[in-house]
Structure 1
Amino acid sequence: MNKPVILIGNGGHAKVLTSILLQQNRLIIGFTAPEFQENPFNIPYLGTDEIIGSYNSGDIELVLCIGSVSVPTLRSKIFEQFKEKCYTFSSVIHQSAIITTYSTLGEGVQIMAGSVIEPFVKIADNTIINTSSSINHGCKIGKHCHIAPGTTLSGNVTVGEVTHIGAGSTVIQNVQIGNHVLIGAGSLVLQSINDKRKAFGVPAKEM
């Protein structure tokens, strides 16, 4: 039985996740943010993230509603802070996503509308597979990554942790992308990218 959820964040990514949760009839207690904000779904504001400590970790689940347009360091930090306090993050998967047999999804994974996850894919904790992305056979994606809308990972691509692959990018087969990497939107990645690098363009070049 699904537990009630608290949303962390109230931005654009939160709107998408809230819509999915409401379609799935999940009970949303409220959301946290650094200060009071209006919510278009009339979800109540609970306070800052510290208010979550007043809820028993066994009674609720958290949904991390913070996306990224760069290396998702903040998303990683918040997830790990609450895991240290024994809270659990709910995965959010849109009903139109296709997840084929023999794939493995970690805790708190978010898979948006129209995405396709092919066989023997491994997606680690707290990673976003955003709208209409294609993750092909044998890909391995580390923790705290954001695969932005319309991205294609061809077969056997490896992505490290805390990495952002920008919207509309394509990564060809067998490429390895490191940790804390930023791939610019619309890039074509033909070669492996080392840790802590930025790469942009068609074909993508390290900056």
Structure 2
Amino acid sequence: LVYGGGGHGQVLLDLIRQAGRFHLVGVVDDRLPRGDYLLGVPVLGGGECLIEWRQKGVALAVNGVGGIGNPMAREGVFTQLEQAGFFFPTLVHPRALVEAAATLHPGVQVLAMAYVGPCVEVGFGSLLNVGAIASHHCRLGRVTNLSPGATLAGGVSLGDYTQIGMNATVNVNLNIGKHCLIGNGATVKADVPDGTRVRAGHIWPPLHTTSQTGGTHVSQESPTNSPA
């Protein structure tokens, strides 16, 4: 089953077809009419039908909710599926590259053109979107998200539920805390505390200069320490 028929769910339908390892039974989505078809795959109903299909012998389910800006929405789908008795396959697009020494935990999704380097560990339910890079010896926590084009240099650690925006870059051997949101195109040059939001296009840490009056001036908007 694929839970979620939005944009991310439809990307996964095509990925599953191209990978050729699993048989698609249907889509579960609370907003789509039962009996409709999505990219040729039947809509089985909403979340109320999960137990029914588990009892019919379907054991594997895929989380099709991307959770951009709200990783706990994606976490909630995993909880709902787990409570219904489902297990979570690891999905890797045929045109992604995952090195043999990497470790992918259940529920991980690696989309087309993404790269997972040697000795990288990708935590449960994490998503590497199109063209994302996790270089050697990175550690990604639970339900993390690398948006299209995001790049982690070697030895980067991401805390649980942290999201890295499109084309953002994180320098080598840095630690990004839990529940962080690194905006599109941002550049991270130092460790980031839990719950920090780095604004799109900005550099972390914020640049400071000394004014003529002797005070300290922040040369760009300072990220806020609030949950992402």
Q: TM-score, normalised by structure 1?
A: 0.91
C-alpha distance in 2, partners of 1:182/1:198? 5
Tell which deviates more after alignment, 184-193 or 57-66.
57-66
What residue identity is the alignment partner of 2:28?
Answer: T
Tell me, yes or no, if the aligned pair for 1:10 and 1:39 is still in contact at 8 Å. no
What residue identity is the alignment partner of 1:17?
Answer: L
CA-to-aligned-CA distance 1:52-80 (integer Å, 9 cap, x gap): 11123763200101113214110012112
The match for 1:140 is 139
Q: CA RMSD in A?
A: 1.6
Paired residue total: 202
- Which consecutive unaligned segments of at least 5 residues does structure 2 have? 207-222
Percent sequence identity over aligned pairs: 28
The match for 1:15 is 10
- Which consecutive unaligned segments of at least 5 residues does structure 1 have? 1-5
Tell me, yes or no, if the aligned pair for 2:5 and 2:27 is still in contact at 8 Å. yes
C-alpha distance in 1, partners of 2:103/2:54? 28
Offset at residue 134 of structure 1 (A)? 1.1
Distance of aligned partners of 1:153 and 1:39 in 2 relative to their CA distance in 1, 3 Å threshold: farther
The match for 2:109 is 110
The match for 1:196 is 195
The match for 1:30 is 26
The match for 1:3 is none
What residue identity is the alignment partner of 1:20?
Answer: L
Q: TM-score, normalised by structure 2?
A: 0.83
CA-to-aligned-CA distance 1:121-151 (integer Å, 9 cap, x gap): 0001100001111111110000111110101
Distance of aligned partners of 1:39 and 1:163 in 2 relative to their CA distance in 1, 3 Å threshold: farther
Offset at residue 40 of structure 1 (A)? 4.2
Tell me, yes or no, if the aligned pair for 1:9 and 1:33 is still in contact at 8 Å. yes
Distance of aligned partners of 1:17 and 1:87 in 2 relative to their CA distance in 1, 3 Å threshold: same
Tell me, yes or no, if the aligned pair for 2:5 and 2:38 is still in contact at 8 Å. no
Tell me, yes or no, if the aligned pair for 2:119 and 2:138 is still in contact at 8 Å. yes
The match for 1:56 is 54
Offset at residue 43 of structure 1 (A)? 1.3
C-alpha distance in 2, partners of 1:118/1:36? 38
